[in-house]
Structure 1
Amino acid sequence: MSAESTPDHRGKGRRGLKAAAWAAAGVVALGGTGAGYVYFELNGNIESLDIDRALGADRPEEAGDGSENILVLGSDTRSGGNEELGGGTDDGSARSDTAMIVHVHEGHRRASVVSVPRDTVVDRPGCTDTDGGTHPAASGVMFNSAYATGGAACAVKTVESITGLRMDHYLEVDFTGFRKIVDELGGVEVTTGEDIEDPDSHLDLKAGTHRLDGEQALGLVRTRHGVGDGSDLGRIRLQQAFVKALVRQIGEVGVLTGPKKLYDLADTATEAVTTDSDLGSVNALMSFASGLRNITPDGLHMVTMPVTYDPANANRVLIEKAKARQVWNALENDEPIPGSATEGTATDEARGVVTP
């Protein structure tokens, strides 16, 4: 499916986050934008999980400096329509397709977003899922196996083990919800610097400016073969560009939008997200979203966790521990991520292919 080129550059984008890190935070921002129209019954749409109870007390300490860390995942868990969108594993189980650590700096005017490649080889800690099931530790496994093994709680446990940082919140957006939110927003405008074609993702875009509908946007943030060398790192670059576009578009949803439209957006957004229990109500989501409304695309610093290609498997990457530690130390101290943390690490050929 090919999108029509758009002659006027309105600079609109949208951030429902499946590509997931700022994605979910962007979706939630819809609730804040339409605060006056988010009705009580929307509480019934929200699925929440008691992550804190599952993780127990053996966790990194809270920052206590006004900053927050949010783990945002894009997955295929909540909708039966995900299978036709390419979701799920061969055995029908759910998986996390995108992972982003969103660090909201003190003052809530800037955010650092760290994408975690799903193909990163990690040592997964033992964990307890939100149903009380226990899962033993495993060495040398892919990062996204944590979610496939023990769901959200195990994903959070693994991220905290890797980073040494406490995840204050958890947000998850599923494929079908992501697609619907993009459509509700009227599409997302992006510019491609070269042709992108990937039959597996139902994507066929010529170089130029396009307003993507929900299916095309989903194809863009999931494609691995349409750009670069086909690696997960190339796809992450596309996701990061799309996230900025999404944040911009959400910022343009304002008082001129009619009550029904705002309600429809809020309804779609709350059906699409799964949260930790602290965010499991419309009031909590609205309060959280209101704290993010001053973060513009220019206030987002997006990087990929420093990695190198695995010499034993070209389809896997390994954490560059010394450089990654620079990233985690910066977030722990609520400081900007230094450029030296990502210099000389595995990069992708998709840089600059898409701009918001």
Structure 2
Amino acid sequence: MPKRSSSRRSAGSRAVRRGLTAGGWVAVGTTALVIGSSLTAYGAYYDIYSNINQETIDTDAWDRPTKVEGALNIMIIGSDVRSGDNAEYGGEIEGERPDSLLIAHISPSYDGATLINLPRDSMVNMPACEASGDKPGMAAHYGMINSAMDQGGVQCQWQVVEQLTGIHIDHFVSVDFTGFKDMVDAVGGVDMCIPAPVDDPKADLTLDAGEQTLNGEQALGYMRSRYGQGDGSDLSRIDRQQDFLAAMLRKVMSGEIMSSPTSIYSFLGSVTDSITVDDELTVDRMTDIAIQMRQVDMGNIQFVTVPNGQAPEDANRVAWTQPDADNLFAAIANDTAIAEEEEEEAPEEEPQEEEEETPPVAPSDVSVEVLNGTDVNGLGSEVGSHLGAQGFVVAGSRNPDGEIPAETTVYYGTGFEGHAKAVAAELESATTAENPLLGGTVQLVIAGEWGGFKGEPTSGGGTDLPVDGKTAEAQESSCG
């Protein structure tokens, strides 16, 4: 039988500022559930399942949101407790504050999944929690969302997430550093595009630019890295980790891994010692979930961070933007496709005559991620380099995950229209559009009609690249 405990084991609790953020932990938890049922056919899953740690959660201790029939919501916790095999990543740290907190929503309505990141730095009004095991509990107060784990364990964190979001949580999965690293190695590494060289001593990470396969140790460093990439914020790191998640899901769901009992066994066997789940997440339940996940269209998986902005009381913390955050939570709680809601709200865009009222923003205050939606190899990296030379803070470049707009567009989160306009002003032809799901980093999505930068000549195809499609810098990093 699985190991049980009344409180979480020591090797599992924090994981975002110094540890893994959304993408890495979701990759561990979600992909394990996706392929779990495959092992039952070979009579091997029960053997692996016995290594998983379990914890009893008393969900009768608080008033719970209504559950939508058929929908599945899993709270995923990233853990960086520095003990046991994890001690090498910065020494032992007291307390249990998850650095990564996420809700994975699997929808029966539109055969899709939505992964919602709740930034660990979120300042929220937390409800009171009862004492649990060796945890003292806590009174209702205003504080960081991840402090609930330290005060009341997983049970308190579960209660806080449910009562803040109104989303019924069905199960939880927690994974630590060692499990993540071993899982990446078990699937033979993960292919990633690194848009620019990375040198981050704090994460023990050095990477060249370009397409490459990250092994477990490199992947762990990439997921932990904050100051060596982008603008150094947790939000830009979340964006990178969501890219990693997408790449990992593609690797795990590939025919080679899914069709091989040995590969599946190796994958799950590598992480079970580092996983903790609730005691209702049984073998049969995991099998049901895996079957449900197989119905999910890989092209219909959305990666979302709760709409947020700088907390008024602390520039190093974030506050959820309302009513956008509550609208997102309501869509998930009611199993409504987020994309459909955005289409309905689109006609209510601000009138054009109000555009000039947006105050100008200096490039140094703008964080921008470049998404290359064209067929020109290296264009994203080239555009990012140009913007960086103009003083913008470039949070990386990659290819878009979803639909590409008809024209080059700079998307911005609520309150960041001026940031988007500052980027658009550099371009020969671009429009701006609000995406309430974005945070403080705007996204420049380059479309097929890319016209280059203002005042600069373009070569064939309307880009600032030489005829062969690459500059010297782009040749160094041929991805994006």
Q: TM-score range by the shorter chain?
A: 0.7 to 0.9
Counterpart Cα distance in 2 of 1:107 and 1:87 = 45
Q: Residues 198, 123 of structure 1: CA spacing in aligned structure 2 closer, same or farther, 3 A cutoff?
A: same
**Which letter does structure 2 place at the counterpart of 1:136?**
M
Q: Percent identity?
A: 33
Q: How high is the TM-score relative to the length of structure 2?
A: 0.64
- State the Cα RMSD in Å: 3.0
Q: Secondary structure at the match of 1:127?
A: coil
Q: Secondary structure at the match of 2:245?
A: helix
Q: Residues 255, 139 of structure 1: CA spacing in aligned structure 2 closer, same or farther, 3 A cutoff?
A: closer
Q: Secondary structure at the match of 2:141?
A: strand
- 1:113-170 Cα offsets, whole Å, 9 max, x none, are 1111101111222223652755122423211111222221111111112101111111
Q: How high is the TM-score relative to the length of structure 1?
A: 0.84
1:238 corresponds in structure 2 to 240
Counterpart Cα distance in 2 of 1:307 and 1:124 = 17
Q: Residues 255, 178 of structure 1: CA spacing in aligned structure 2 closer, same or farther, 3 A cutoff?
A: closer
Counterpart Cα distance in 1 of 2:262 and 2:207 = 32
2:149 corresponds in structure 1 to 147
Runs of 4+ that moved beyond 4 A? 253-258, 338-342, 349-353
> Is contact 1:228–1:349 with CA below 8 Å preserved after alignment?
no
Q: Residues 100, 222 of structure 1: CA spacing in aligned structure 2 closer, same or farther, 3 A cutoff?
A: same
Which blocks of at least 5 consecutive residues in structure 2 are unaligned? Answer: 1-20, 347-411, 416-438, 446-476
Q: Secondary structure at the match of 1:20?
A: helix
Counterpart Cα distance in 1 of 2:294 and 2:92 = 33
> Is contact 1:21–1:98 with CA below 8 Å preserved after alignment?
no
User: Structure 1 residues 300-309 or 256-265, which shifts more?
Assistant: 256-265
Q: How does 1:1-356 map to 2 (within 5 A)?
A: 19-21=24-26, 23-37=28-42, 38-51=44-57, 53-64=58-69, 66-77=70-81, 80-86=84-90, 89=93, 92-106=94-108, 109-128=111-130, 130-131=132-133, 133-252=135-254, 254=256, 258-279=260-281, 281-337=282-338, 338-339=341-342, 343-344=413-414, 346-348=439-441
Q: Secondary structure at the match of 1:334?
A: coil
> Is contact 1:24–1:172 with CA below 8 Å preserved after alignment?
yes
- 1:267-320 Cα offsets, whole Å, 9 max, x none, are 2232232111111x3333233222112334422111110111123322100111
Counterpart Cα distance in 1 of 2:187 and 2:135 = 39
Counterpart Cα distance in 1 of 2:198 and 2:223 = 12
Number of residue equivalences: 336
- 1:189-244 Cα offsets, whole Å, 9 max, x none, are 11122223211111222221111111111122222212222111011111111111
Q: Secondary structure at the match of 2:88?
A: helix
Counterpart Cα distance in 2 of 1:256 and 1:136 = 44
Q: Residues 303, 261 of structure 1: CA spacing in aligned structure 2 closer, same or farther, 3 A cutoff?
A: closer
Counterpart Cα distance in 1 of 2:226 and 2:444 = 14
1:9 corresponds in structure 2 to none
User: Structure 1 residues 77-86 or 194-203, which shifts more?
Assistant: 77-86
> Is contact 1:30–1:265 with CA below 8 Å preserved after alignment?
no
Counterpart Cα distance in 2 of 1:96 and 1:46 = 19
Which blocks of at least 5 consecutive residues in structure 1 are unaligned? Answer: 1-15
Q: Residues 253, 178 of structure 1: CA spacing in aligned structure 2 closer, same or farther, 3 A cutoff?
A: farther
Q: Residues 257, 63 of structure 1: CA spacing in aligned structure 2 closer, same or farther, 3 A cutoff?
A: closer
> Is contact 1:101–1:115 with CA below 8 Å preserved after alignment?
yes
Q: Residues 223, 348 of structure 1: CA spacing in aligned structure 2 closer, same or farther, 3 A cutoff?
A: farther
Larger Cα Rg: Structure 1 or Structure 2?
A: 2
**Which letter does structure 1 place at the counterpart of 2:267?**
L
> Is contact 2:107–2:113 with CA below 8 Å preserved after alignment?
yes
Counterpart Cα distance in 1 of 2:194 and 2:442 = 14
User: Structure 1 residues 152-161 or 267-276, which shifts more?
Assistant: 267-276
**Which letter does structure 2 place at the counterpart of 1:328?**
F
Q: Residues 109, 85 of structure 1: CA spacing in aligned structure 2 closer, same or farther, 3 A cutoff?
A: farther
Counterpart Cα distance in 2 of 1:313 and 1:39 = 47
Counterpart Cα distance in 1 of 2:116 and 2:317 = 18
Counterpart Cα distance in 1 of 2:187 and 2:239 = 22
> Is contact 1:30–1:269 with CA below 8 Å preserved after alignment?
no
> Is contact 1:70–1:102 with CA below 8 Å preserved after alignment?
yes
- 1:49-72 Cα offsets, whole Å, 9 max, x none, are 222x255251112122x1111111
Q: Residues 258, 323 of structure 1: CA spacing in aligned structure 2 closer, same or farther, 3 A cutoff?
A: closer
Counterpart Cα distance in 2 of 1:196 and 1:350 = 21
Counterpart Cα distance in 2 of 1:351 and 1:133 = 45
> Which of the pair has the greater relative contact order for Cα pairs under 8 Å at 6+ separation?
1
Counterpart Cα distance in 1 of 2:312 and 2:22 = 32
